[in-house]
Amino acid sequence: MSAGHTAVTTPTAPDEPVIVCDTPQDECGVRDVLDRLGDKWSVYVVVELASGIRRFKELQRAVPGNISQRMLTLTVRRLERDGLVKRTVYPTVPPQVEYELTDLGHSLTHLVKALADWSIAHRPAIAAAREAWDAVDGNSGRLPVR
């Protein structure tokens, strides 16, 4: 806050959009980022690399859910392409490869932590809402028509 700033900051009204795009096709670049972070493995890889540099096998063992070698390779390549991960290959036999987050990747960890904190704080409310919805819907898997 600057010394000359005296106005009261108010949160966005509930009916105001958080993100405003000029055109529906523009999507403000959000779709591209959400596609990357919304996949099954990227956030796990980012979280693990937030702890420091990892070799490929260390990373594979640390990521929960038994990620295959091929899927981990694809995931770190995509994250590297997006500038979130740096890959270093050492000229050894066999080649030693290490992965680490870039500054851009580290900046993402604050958002991931906020999402994780929100998830943990609201887990009971979400579970209760699911139980209530399932009880009304008969657990058919379809959204109710209202």
Per-residue pLDDT of the chain (146 residues), as tens digits, is 444 444 444 555 667 766 666 666 656 677 777 777 788 899 999 999 999 999 999 999 999 888 999 999 999 999 999 999 999 999 999 989 999 999 999 999 998 889 889 999 999 999 999 999 988 876 565 665 55
**Rounded (5°) CA angle 44-124-10:** 85
Give the global pTM.
0.71
CATH number where 125 lies: 1.10.10.10
φ/ψ region of 132 (left if φ > 0, alpha if ψ in -120 to 50, else beta) reads alpha
The whole domain housing 97 covers 27-137
Q: Would residue 11 count as lying in a domain?
A: no
Q: Would residue 58 count as lying in a domain?
A: yes
Q: Would residue 114 count as lying in a domain?
A: yes
Number of domains within the chain = 1
Amino acid at 124: P
Q: Which residues pair with 86 in a beta bridge?
A: 100
Phi–psi pair at 121, nearest 5 degrees: -65, -30
Q: Would residue 76 count as lying in a domain?
A: yes
Q: What tokens does 6 get?
A: 């005296």
Q: Would residue 116 count as lying in a domain?
A: yes
Q: Would residue 85 count as lying in a domain?
A: yes
